[in-house]
Amino acid sequence: MKLLAGNSNLPLAKAISDYLELPLTQASVRRFADEEIFVEILENVRGEDVFVIQSSSYPANDNLMELLICIDALKRASAKRITAVLPYFGYARQDRKPGPRTPISAKLVANLITTAGADRVLSVDLHAGQIQGFFDIPTDNLWGAPVMAADIQARFATQPITVVSPDVGGVVRARGLAKRLSNAPLAIVDKRRERAGESEVMNIIGDVTDRFCILIDDIVDSAGTLCNAAAALKQQGAIEVVAYSTHGVLSGAAVSRVARSELSELVVTDSIWSGEPDPKDCKVRRLTIAPLIAEAIRRIADESSVSSLFD
């Protein structure tokens, strides 16, 4: 097999490459003066099983287009099978029609990836499970929960932990993490979103008094929801609040908002690379999912079970 990395998350791609002890395929991914993307594969890939590692994170449209062109280049170079590895699947939050005359962009992106020539898709913590059904090709959705659970157990095993979902939609995710933490108690934050990008916490369902609260979410963007939830939990008597999220989008003033919040720490994975290191005085800490993705890639190449990773 071969690994091909786009420019969206080179550190993660190199970590996956190191884990598999397989060098990244030599390729030139560059832009013309008018910002058109040009891809040239500099190695023979005929008959190869190729994995293209590319998150469609900011700038989402550029990174998505880069992925599509990489897939097309591999298809025309006669690669046997092409797997699009998206540690972060952009446009995932547009998975339904929230109102009249609105798109389902996640389905459109799935169609684009399939039409470009991908034979398989591998992603991590899709925002909604039904996105797997948007693809007409095999799709593996890895879970970040085992990585987070191991970190929580290593750091907070002696604390009276309660897992908290920041909204009703995340209850299944929170319950899955709580099960991995020896069936820790579960609480839910009931909130009402008045407009996009803003949230208002209403009340807490469950007892969090004198508990060490672990907020769990799949995507943290503006961080407003998590910060408001942390404040509400502290008001209800929580000892400390730590947030875990798979995808740290952290747009705008999110990092400074977290720094001023009641959160003791925000832990995200390295599915998204901002292009620069986090500020030293921020509360953001990163976990790597390179071993998880690398092991899934190995199993796909070997035609063995991926789901057994989570048994």
What is the residue-level pLDDT of the chain in tens, covering all 311 positions? Answer: 999 999 999 999 999 999 999 999 999 998 999 999 999 999 999 999 999 999 999 999 999 999 999 999 999 999 999 999 999 999 999 999 989 999 999 999 999 999 999 999 999 999 988 899 999 999 999 999 999 999 999 999 899 999 999 988 889 999 999 999 999 999 999 876 666 655 565 689 999 999 999 999 999 999 988 999 999 999 999 999 999 999 999 998 899 999 999 999 999 999 999 888 777 778 999 999 999 999 999 999 999 999 988 87
CA dihedral over 23, 26, 27, 28, signed as positive or negative: positive
Q: Which residues of 52-83 are buried (b: 16+ CB within 10 A; e: fewer)?
A: bbbbbbbebebbbbbbbbbbbbbbebebebbb
Is residue 190 annotated as involved in ligand binding?
no
Give the single-character DSSP code of 310.
G
CA distance 20 to 120: 19
125 contacts 144 by C-beta, under 8 angstroms: yes
Which of 191, 234, 280, 283 is an active site residue?
191
CA distance 177 to 213: 13
pLDDT at 135: 95
Nearest CA to 72 out of 91, 45, 92 is that of: 45
Is residue 167 annotated as involved in ligand binding?
yes
**Count of positions (residues) in the chain:** 311
Is residue 96 annotated as involved in ligand binding?
no
The phi and psi torsions of 87 (rounded to 5 degrees) equal: -55, -35
- CB count within 10 Å of CB 11 equals 13
Active site (annotated) includes residue 80: no
Which residues contact residue 307 at a Cβ distance below 8 angstroms, ignoring those fewer than 6 apart? Answer: none
Is residue 225 annotated as involved in ligand binding?
yes
Kindly report the pTM of this predicted structure: 0.92
Nearest CA to 233 out of 262, 254, 259 is that of: 262
Residue 95 three-state SS? coil
Give the single-character DSSP code of 245.
E
Is residue 278 annotated as involved in ligand binding?
no
Residue ranges and CATH numbers for the domains of the chain are 2-142+291-310 (3.40.50.2020), 145-288 (3.40.50.2020)
Is residue 223 annotated as involved in ligand binding?
yes
- CB count within 10 Å of CB 245 equals 25
pLDDT at 175: 94
CA distance 13 to 25: 11
Which residues contact residue 196 at a Cβ distance below 8 angstroms, ignoring those fewer than 6 apart? Answer: none
CA distance 125 to 267: 15
